[in-house]
Amino acid sequence: MVVVECGLRVAAVAALVLAACLVGLDSQTKYILFLDKTVTYKNLNSLIALVYVDIAAAAYNLTRLVLTLLMAGRSYRRSASSSSETLLNAPIVSWGGYVLDQVGVYVTFVVTLAALQHCTLVITGEKELQWMKWCNKFTRFCLQIGGGLFCNFLACILMALLSFVSGFHLFRLYSPTRFLRLKKMSTTPPPPPPPTAAAAL
């Protein structure tokens, strides 16, 4: 399960970084009415919020990836005497990771939907609000923004899968028969191996 989580986090970080680069580095200049008109993501407030949310979500998932790798490495070197301390700390860590994963995917999805709605007005135009159509003049800009939104939705799917993984890590600590009752972890050391024939001689 650790391998699956790490793979999903690497893919989510890659999708978020790619989306932030596609949107944040997108610009196009056209000669319109004797003037050079340049459009960037800063012309739409929703795209500005999208870039910042993508950077924050990528940084969070990268941090969780590093922490997961460190905790997985320590679990192999953990001694039997520290098992009780790990039992006390595991529910807190699991609850924190589960809640943060839920918040991350919800915020990213909401901001992506807001950016999509804003960009739809740019494509179709709105006479009542005096919104002009951009994509018939700035075609490359709109196509690149569309690629960034696609990467954002892909990242939302990956982060939703990560929230399921976090939920599995959390609820496997609790008893299946008693509500919100932690499972008991055995702290007795494993039995010694049976003596070999050479040791018996």
Tens digit of pLDDT at every position of the chain (201 positions): 788 889 999 999 999 999 999 999 887 777 766 777 788 888 888 899 999 999 999 999 999 999 888 877 766 565 444 444 444 346 777 788 889 999 999 999 999 999 998 888 777 765 554 555 667 777 888 889 899 999 999 999 999 999 998 888 777 766 566 655 666 654 445 556 666 655 555
Assigned domain for 157 exists: yes
Assigned domain for 198 exists: no
Compute the distance between CA of residue 79 and CA of residue 83 in angstroms, rounded to an integer: 7
Instruction: Please provide residue 6's backbone torsions phi and psi, each rounded to the nearest 5 degrees.
Output: -65, -40
Assigned domain for 107 exists: yes
Residue from 143, 127, 113 nearest 39 by CA? 143
Assigned domain for 200 exists: no
Entry pTM: 0.76
Assigned domain for 128 exists: yes
Assigned domain for 190 exists: no
Assigned domain for 11 exists: yes
How many domains, in total, are found in the chain?
1
Assigned domain for 118 exists: yes
The parent domain of residue 65 ranges over: 2-77+86-184
CA distances from 9 to 53, 69, 196 (A): 16, 11, 46
